């Protein structure tokens, strides 16, 4: 399960990316602020680089200009010969691959933390492609221990055999930090402060690791994506119902067969017909309507994470 | 103060418009539903017409395509000779003026109800250009009496001498119905149901009036727009602070001089420096960032509304 190598040396090249989705305002505003005041991202052993991942989308306050940048870091796009009519985000993915990669190579950044917001009631969610990265699992554990009063979850999105496609997959290690609920195009002070604190704690964790701290083995609880569930729609594709009030805002809570998931405009309820209990996430996320996703069903996992040894001293 | 004539006959031509802003999903989805099931808008004395005001913006799930349709119903746009490169919403404003107008003329629709959502914590808000329309003031009062458990407010947006510019100004009478908070691009079942109920009650009120009901004089409480307040920004126009946590979500509550309105990214608070108490509305509305509006300060008014006499019998 742990195919990614544990870092053998200190992490020196660290990036924090915002505006990967241009209307997710906590990360957009934080990165804009850090570009004016980079000292906040400094630690004794490294300085993290603030990166405005999708400046055109941020300027337009849209998720993307031509296509979703956070699905664009795939070999088809990264290795193809550039064309004049390439979508903006394909060009931008190649630029970021040059800046932070080449993707997951030994020359890539040591850690990429990518900042997101969701309209779903997800609280603080640490998004990893899978559980194979011991370093990132320990980071998630550290963030949970530092914030005992905050609801936070670890979410594993990548299907087996699926190619990674997100900004943070450029780094040798990486993670998405998702905070919600926040409307697209809105900056809430409470989530801004929460994200700022979580980023600072991430840098603190890297600093602790760089200084030779070891972290003991533990058991991780996480949620792994199973299926996408679309809204009920008419033949023309228009919505025919909404997320049921009894499901709305209940991200990461158990959904059992027979419980309602949609309320049709005609009045009746649509019940969940799956074979067993699942844990819905990204319930009613604005950006997922166009992807045909009303929510993603996930399973809850518990698995052991081995100890994180101290890195070898810097050469 | 009451320059608009009280309707002298029954209101037969009634329209309910949605998607005036294409990412305000309660109205978009309701109008799409009513176009499939128009019987819900029928009353004994009339049938309301569901109108998808901005179909291209709805299809793209954006507020607008070229410019804000709900500012486009001004004589400059409505009377100018059409040009091939007119913005989409200018063309659409002329089409709607033909369908529902000519604007505020004796040939215009008797009532236009325009459906909106806001990301601000506005609850149910009845938006009128000014208080000069006795019929609409009585409608607001009726809706408040029908929903005693719901927080609802009357908001008057038009400055003296300012030309009306909204969709509902096409009709001889009209009103905007604003429900929040709801993120752009998200349909919440609770707000969908609330808006559906308020529209049904609006049609019920018109039906009562048409049948000869009289409504007694009363005293109205309403909020009238004073000033726009922008976010603190850098010289480059980037945000330098967020709406203060003590102001966020407090629409229609008193804001006194010396109370905080913004939290700067650098840490300090910005205090309200106005001369007296105001009532902020549209606090942190996503669509207003590009307009340079963090909130609108309003004053609270109380004024008498005369009785609404029954209409003359239909000829």
| DSSP-derived pairing of the beta strands B241-243 and B260-264 | antiparallel
Rounded Cα–Cα distance for residues B78 and B96 (Å): 10
Task: Please state the residue numbers annotated as binding site of A for Zn(2+).
Answer: 21, 24, 116
Q: Which residues of B are known catalytic residues?
A: 178
> Average pLDDT in the B259-266 region?
98
For residue B42, give Cα distances in angstroms to A54, B14, B142, B203, B213: 48, 10, 19, 8, 19
Output the pLDDT for position A315: 57
The mean predicted confidence, pLDDT, of chain A is: 95
Q: pLDDT confidence of B2, banded at 50, 70, 90? A: very low
Task: Please report which confidence band the pLDDT of residue A158 belongs to, taking 50, 70 and 90 as the band edges.
Answer: confident
Given an 8 Å threshold on Cβ–Cβ distance, is A186 in contact with B238?
no
Q: What is the mean pLDDT of residues A73-88?
A: 95
Q: Do A188 and B248 touch (CB under 8 A)?
A: yes
| Distance in Å, alpha carbon of B66 to nearest chain A alpha carbon | 13
- What is the length of chain A? 315
pLDDT digits (tens, 9 = 90+) for B3-44: 567 888 999 999 999 999 999 999 999 999 999 999 999 999
**Is residue A1 pLDDT above 50, yes or no?**
no
B314 pLDDT tier (thresholds 50, 70, 90): low
pLDDT at site A314:
58
Residue of chain B whose alpha carbon sits nearest to that of A265 = B33
Nearest-Cα distance to chain B for A35, in Å, is 11
Active-site annotation holder among A40, A149, A178, A219: A178
The SS3 assignment for B258 reads coil
Phi-psi region of B132 (alpha: psi -120 to 50; beta: other; left: phi over 0): alpha
* Relative orientation angle of helices B189-210 and B25-36, to the nearest 10 degrees: 60
| Interval A256-280 mean pLDDT | 97
Residue B312 has pLDDT above 90, yes or no: no
What's the mean pLDDT in A249-256? 98
**A196 → chain B, closest CA residue:** B265
Mean pLDDT of A6-29: 96
**Over pLDDT 70: what percentage of chain A?**
98
What pLDDT was estimated at residue B160? Answer: 80
Among the partner-chain residues A181, A184, A187, the one whose CB lies closest to the CB of B184 is A184
Residue A263 has its nearest CB partner, among B186, B189, B287, at: B189
Q: Quick check: A6 pLDDT over 90?
A: no
Best of B39, B41, B286, B288 to disrupt the A interface (most A CBs within 10 Å) is: B286
Average pLDDT over residues A168-180: 97
Contacts of A256 (CB under 8 A, 6+ apart): A272, A277
Q: Is the pLDDT of residue A94 over 90?
A: yes
Extract the tokens encoding A62. Answer: 């849209």
Question: What pLDDT score does B130 carry?
Answer: 83
Q: Which residues of B define the annotated binding site?
A: 21, 24, 116
Inter-chain CB proximity B245 and A189 less than 8 Å: yes
Using the predicted structure, report yes or no on whether residue B177 has a pLDDT greater than 50: yes
Question: Does the structure show a pLDDT above 90 at A160?
Answer: no
Exposed e or buried b for every residue in A135-157, given b needs 16+ CB within 10 A?
A: bbbbbbbbbbebeeeeebbbbbb
Q: How far apart are CA B26 and CA B11, in angstroms?
A: 25
pLDDT of residue A167: 97
How does pLDDT run across B62-82, given as a tens digit for each residue? 999 999 999 999 999 999 999
Q: What is the rounded CA–CA span in Å between residue A28 and residue A19?
A: 5
What's the rounded Cα separation, in Å, for the pair B186 and B195? 14
Residue carrying structure tokens 């005609």: A266
Nearest Cα residue in chain A from B249:
A188
- Closest partner residue to B189 (CB to CB) among A61, A189, A242 is A242
Give the pLDDT score at B315.
57
Tokens of A18: 């915002």
Query: Taking CB atoms and an 8 Å cutoff, what residues of chain B touch A245?
Result: 189-190
Q: Which residues of A are annotated as a binding site?
A: 21, 24, 116
Q: Is B164 exposed, middle or buried (0-12, 13-18, 19+ CB in 10 A)?
A: middle
Tokens 């002298």 appear where?
Answer: B8
Residue B1: its pLDDT value, please? Answer: 38
Quick: pLDDT tens for B226-262.
999 999 999 999 999 999 999 999 999 999 999 999 9
pTM, two decimal places: 0.96
Of all residues in chain B, the one with the smallest CA distance to A34 is B265
Closest CA to A212 of A8, A2, A5: A8
With a cut of 90, say whether residue A277 has pLDDT above it.
Answer: yes
Query: What's the average model confidence in pLDDT over A86-92?
Result: 98
The CA R_g of chain A, rounded to the nearest whole Å, is 20
Give the mutation candidate from A27, A236, A260, A265 for the B interface (greatest B CB count, under 10 A): A265
Q: Which of A252, A261, A253 is nearest to A293 (CA)?
A: A261
Spell out which chain A residues touch chain B, with contact meaning CB-CB distance below 8 angstroms.
29, 32-33, 36-37, 61, 119, 181-190, 192, 234, 238-240, 242-245, 248, 263, 265-266, 284-287, 289-290
Name the 3-class secondary structure at A296.
strand
B137 contacts B109 by C-beta, under 8 angstroms: no
Count of CB pairs separated by less than 8 Å, A with B: 94
- Mean predicted confidence (pLDDT) in B175-193: 98
Tell me the average pLDDT of chain B: 95
Which chain B residues contact residue A187 at CB under 8 A?
239, 242-243, 284
User: What is the structure's pLDDT at A2?
Assistant: 42
Under the banding of pLDDT at 50, 70 and 90, the label for residue B129 is confident
């Amino acid at each position: 399960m742990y195919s990614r190598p544990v870092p053998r040396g200190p992490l020196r090249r660290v990036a924090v990316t915002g505006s990967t989705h241009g209307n997710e305002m906590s990360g957009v505003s934080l990165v804009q602020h850090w570009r004016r005041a980079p000292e906040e991202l400094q630690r004794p052993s490294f300085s993290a680089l603030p990166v405005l991942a999708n400046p055109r989308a941020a300027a337009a306050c849209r998720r993307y200009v031509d296509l979703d940048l956070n699905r664009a870091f795939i070999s088809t796009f990264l290795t193809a010969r550039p064309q004049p009519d390439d979508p903006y985000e394909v060009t931008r993915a190649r630029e970021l691959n040059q800046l932070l990669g080449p993707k997951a190579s030994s020359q890539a950044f040591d850690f990429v933390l990518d900042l997101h917001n969701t309209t779903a009631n997800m609280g603080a969610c640490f998004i990893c492609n899978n559980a194979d990265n011991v370093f990132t699992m320990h980071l998630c554990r550290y963030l949970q221990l530092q914030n005992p009063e905050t609801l936070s979850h670890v979410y594993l999105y990548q299907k087996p055999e699926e190619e990674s496609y997100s900004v943070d997959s450029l780094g040798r290690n990486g993670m998405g930090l998702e905070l919600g609920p926040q409307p697209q195009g809105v900056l809430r002070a409470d989530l801004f402060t929460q994200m700022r604190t979580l980023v600072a704690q991430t840098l603190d964790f890297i600093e602790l690791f760089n200084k030779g701290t070891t972290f003991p083995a533990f058991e991780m609880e996480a949620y792994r994506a199973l299926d996408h569930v679309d809204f009920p729609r008419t033949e023309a594709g228009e919505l025919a119902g909404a997320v049921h009030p009894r499901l709305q805002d209940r991200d990461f809570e158990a959904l059992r067969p027979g419980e309602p998931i949609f309320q049709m405009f005609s009045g009746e309820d649509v019940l969940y017909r799956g074979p067993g209990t699942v844990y819905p996430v990204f319930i009613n996320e604005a950006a997922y309507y166009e992807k045909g996703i009303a929510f993603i069903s996930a399973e809850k996992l518990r698995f052991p994470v081995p100890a994180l040894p101290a890195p070898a001293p810097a050469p």
